[in-house]
Structure formats: C-alpha cells, structure tokens
C-alpha cells in the first residue's frame, strides 16, 4: 500500500526528451531523482510532472510516511518537502552524497537540519515573500476575530443562544489609539503592522533580531525590550521565526505581564508558545482573547484544553493558504530544484 502510493515517473516521454535534449534513451536512467513528499498545487504539479526528473512523489492525501521518505530519498538529488516533514540528520544522511538541494513549500524552515545540510553541501530553498500578504491577512483576521469575540458569536448563533439585542453582550475591543506589540518584524510582521495601522493602531512596539529605523516613522514604531512590549501592548502578535531564542518565549511569566485586556495572536509557530502555560493563563483569565493559527502539536487533538476556551480562536495553520500564494510557492520549489541539481545558486535560497 505504501509502496504503490509513491508515483514513479521514471520514463519521461521519449519523443519530448529527445527533441529537447537530444538524449539517447539510455540517458533516461540518469534523469535526476527528485522526491516530493506531497502533490503540489495544480499548475505547479502539472509542470513538475513534465520535468525530466525521476520523480518519486507521495500521491496520497496524507504526509509521506517517514519510512517511505527514508527509503525514497536514497540516491535523490532533490527533495521538495513541507513544513510538516522533519528533514533531520537521518533523512539527509540517508540521501547520501547525491543530494544537492532541499526546498520547502514554506517560509519557515525550523523543520530542516540546516547544520547537517551545510556540512553535506546541500543547498536549502524556501518560499519567502510570495506568502507575506496571505499570512498577514490571516493574522489580521485572527486578531479581529479574537478582539471581537467571533468564536462566541458564531457559537451563540449556531446553538440557539442568540436572543434579543443586548447592550452588554459579546462586547470586544477596537483598535483606535491602541498599542500593537509585534514579536518579529520581518516581512510578515511588517505587513501585519501596516494592515493594523489602517484599523487605528496608533503606536507599534516591536522586538526582533534587529532594529529597523526605516519603519519608525511610517508605523509609529519603536524597537522595545520584550518586557516593555508585553506590559504596554494591547495587541501582541507573534510573527517571528522559531529559533532557540524564541522557543517558548511566550510562557506563564510572559502572559502574566500582559494586560488583562490584551489580545494575543500567534501565526508563527506553535513552539514559540509554552502551550500549557497559555492554557493556564486562559484558565486564570489573564488575557482577553487569543488567536492561533499554529499549535503544538499540529493537528491539535480535539480534546485539547485550548478548545474549551471560548475566547481562543484556532485555525488549522492556513496562513499561506490562498490559491495565489500556494501556486507560486510550488513554482518556486521547482525552480529551486532545477537550479540545485545543476549545481547553480538557488533562486530562493536560504542563507545558512
Ligand atoms: C507557514 O507556516 C510557512 O512557514 O510557510
């Protein structure tokens, strides 16, 4: 069952290949082996299937099982993976010296062992920029949803709790004159801050890898300590990369420092939050609302205590899930693989 789910395209169309490359048929045995752990968005998939690759692709609507990945990667020159695939030392070593490029259909890369990739001369590619708008839109959606009690509202309508109009029912918070705290002011963080300014945010505190003076005037922004950001912000939004420095940075101490009226949103990685501490903070009413697009683990088990909290809106990691973004992400992965197997610099390379 597992074996038959891997689509193998080892015999590309003879006529096309001869016309394109003047290959003799024996050259087909040398088509570079490329592993793809999942089917790509439609147009990118169609293109991938036309490339002269010995393509090993998991065709099921599920993650490529680890044992299949460990087997298929042997002798591969390229790998197209997802953020849900753990590309660790075992996978990189199983590939052997043939592996030239790993490219992920994501901007996040915490699932890839960069040190081993570097040691083994494997280039790593990703899909920055193209998903910035999609992810920023969804982050704003979560911020609004958490601030305006959207989950409680939808539940009330669906469960027949919508009664007469009530002045004190489901009142949330607005944005005018408020302070936004951005944890991570990279491409996505900046796009979120710009969008929230349009809702009336008057001041932005940010904490991240480096100060960005060029943003100070347009966003009324100030590079702040993590503590200042926690204590002074009305909206605290995590858009940072997951690194040893940011791992579980949102712990009980951090939640305790936030205003009781604060809205906390995470569209970065579940691992930047110590999730049991977030549950405790919600149990103790330390926060007004929470919006999450990422959790630990993913998928979130349906018995998670997070789901019991009406003021915690959770989406299933769909930040970049627009047709537009995902198609281009697929194309970028193919461009990266093509460059990588030819020993060229990847067009969308992660510097590591
Ligand atoms: C999504 O989380 C991504 O890293 O692209």
pLDDT digits (tens, 9 = 90+) for 186-204: 999 999 999 999 999 999 9
> What is the per-residue pLDDT for 23?
36
If one residue of 85, 111, 131, 136 were mutated to test the ligand 1 pocket, choosing by the most ligand atoms within 8 A of its CB, it would be 131
Q: What is the residue-averaged pLDDT of the chain?
A: 93
Q: What is the pLDDT of residue 188?
A: 98
The reported pLDDT for the residue numbered 5 is 63
In this prediction, residues 34-62 reach a mean pLDDT of 98
pLDDT (average), residues 122-148:
98
User: Of ligand 1's atoms, which has the minimum distance to the CA of residue 109?
Assistant: 4
Length of the chain: 352
> Which own/partner contact pairs does 244-252 have at CB distance under 8 Å and 24+ positions apart?
246/183, 246/184, 246/272, 247/271, 247/272, 248/272, 248/273, 248/274, 249/183, 250/274, 250/277, 250/278, 251/277, 252/277, 252/280, 252/281
Report field, pTM of the whole predicted structure over 0.85: yes
Q: Ligand 1 centroid to 168 CA: how many Å?
A: 38
Q: Is the CB of 107 under 6 A from ligand 1?
A: yes
Active site residues: 317
Tens digit of each residue's pLDDT (9 = 90 or more) over 212-222: 999 999 999 99
**Centre of ligand 1 from the C-alpha of residue 240, in Å:** 11
Q: What is the pLDDT of residue 186?
A: 97
User: What's the pLDDT score for residue 9?
Assistant: 54
pLDDT of residue 260: 98
Contact 77, 99 (CB under 8 A): yes
Of the chain, the percentage scoring pLDDT greater than 90 comes to 91
Q: What is the mean pLDDT of the segment spanning 103-114?
A: 98
Question: 107 C-alpha vs ligand 1 centroid, how far in Å?
Answer: 5
Give the integer Cα–Cα distance in Å for 201 and 197: 5
- Whether 108 is in the pocket of ligand 1, judged by its Cβ within 6 Å, is yes
**Does the Cβ of 329 fall within 6 Å of ligand 1?**
no
pLDDT of 25 over the 90 cut: no
For the cut 60, the answer to whether the pLDDT of residue 15 exceeds it is: no
> For a pocket test of ligand 1, which of 85, 106, 129, 318 has the largest count of ligand atoms closer than 8 A to its C-beta?
106
Residue 327 burial (10 A CB sphere; 0-12, 13-18, 19+): middle
Q: Closest residue (by CA) to atom 5 of ligand 1?
A: 106
Q: Is the CB of 320 under 6 A from ligand 1?
A: yes
What's the 125 CA to ligand 1 centre distance in angstroms? 13
Per-residue model confidence as pLDDT tens digits over 208-249: 999 999 999 999 999 999 999 999 999 999 999 999 999 999
Whole-number Å distance between alpha carbons of 23 and 52: 11
Per-residue pLDDT averaged across 92-112, rounded?
Answer: 98
> Is the beta carbon of 319 within 6 A of some atom in ligand 1?
yes
Q: What is the pLDDT of residue 293?
A: 98
| Distance from residue 124's CA to the centre of ligand 1 (Å) | 15
Per-residue pLDDT of 267-311, as tens digits, reads 999 999 999 999 999 999 999 999 999 999 999 999 999 999 999
- pLDDT bracket for residue 19 (50, 70, 90): very low
Spatial contact of 287 and 281, defined as CB atoms under 8 Å apart = yes
How far is ligand 1, taken at its centre, from the CA of residue 131, in Å? 8
| Ligand 1 atom 3: residue of nearest CA | 106
pLDDT at 55 over 50: yes
Give 30 or 72, the one with higher predicted confidence. Answer: 72
What pLDDT, on the 0 to 100 scale, is given for residue 22? 36
CB of 144 closer than 6 A to ligand 1? no
> What number is the average pLDDT over the span 139-154?
98
pLDDT score, position 13: 41
DSSP-based three-state secondary structure for 86:
coil
Ligand 1, residue 267: give the atom nearest the CA: 2
CA of 83 to the centre of ligand 1 (A): 7
* 42: confidence class by pLDDT, cuts 50, 70, 90: very high
Q: Tell me, using a 6 A CB cutoff, whether residue 91 lines ligand 1.
A: no
| pLDDT surpasses 90 at 106 | yes
All domains of the chain in start order, with CATH:
33-106+324-342 (3.40.50.720), 131-314 (3.40.50.720)
Residue 188 CB–ligand 1 contact under 6 Å: no
18-27, 153-162, 199-208, 246-255: range with lowest mean pLDDT: 18-27
Q: Answer yes or no: is the C-beta of 106 below 6 A from any ligand 1 atom.
A: yes
């Amino acid at each position: 069952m597992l074996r038959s789910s891997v689509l193998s395209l080892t015999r590309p169309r003879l006529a096309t290949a001869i016309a394109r490359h003047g290959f003799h048929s024996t050259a087909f045995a040398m088509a570079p082996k490329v592993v793809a752990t999942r089917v790509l968005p439609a147009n990118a998939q169609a293109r991938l299937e036309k490339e002269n690759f010995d393509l090993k692709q998991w065709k099921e609507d599920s993650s490529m099982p680890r044992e299949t990945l460990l087997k298929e990667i042997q002798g591969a020159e390229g790998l197209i993976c997802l953020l849900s695939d753990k590309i660790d030392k075992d996978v990189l070593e199983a590939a052997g010296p043939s592996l030239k490029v790993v490219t992920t259909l994501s901007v996040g890369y915490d699932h890839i062992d960069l040190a081993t990739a570097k040691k083994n001369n494997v280039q790593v590619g990703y899909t920055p920029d193209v998903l910035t708008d999609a992810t920023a839109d969804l982050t704003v959606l979560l911020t609004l949803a958490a601030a305006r009690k959207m989950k409680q509202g939808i539940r009330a309508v669906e469960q027949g709790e919508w009664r007469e109009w009530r002045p004190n029912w489901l009142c949330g918070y607005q944005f005018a004159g408020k302070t936004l705290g951005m944890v991570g002011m990279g491409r996505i963080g900046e796009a979120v801050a710009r969008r929230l300014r349009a809702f009336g945010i008057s001041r932005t505190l940010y904490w991240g890898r480096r100060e960005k003076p060029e943003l100070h005037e347009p966003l009324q922004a100030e590079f702040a300590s993590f503590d200042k950001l926690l204590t002074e912000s009305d909206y605290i939004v995590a858009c940072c990369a997951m690194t040893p420095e940011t791992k579980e940075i949102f712990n009980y101490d951090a939640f305790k420092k936030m205003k009781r009226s604060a809205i906390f949103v995470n569209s970065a990685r579940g691992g930047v939050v110590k999730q049991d501490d977030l549950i405790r903070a919600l149990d103790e009413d330390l926060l007004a609302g929470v919006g999450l697009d990422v959790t630990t683990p993913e998928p979130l088990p349906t018995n998670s205590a997070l789901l019991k909290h009406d003021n915690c809106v959770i989406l299933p990691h769909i930040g970049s899930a627009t047709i537009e973004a995902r198609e281009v992400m697929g194309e970028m992965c193919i461009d990266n693989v093509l460059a990588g197997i030819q020993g060229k610099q990847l067009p969308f390379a992660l510097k590591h």
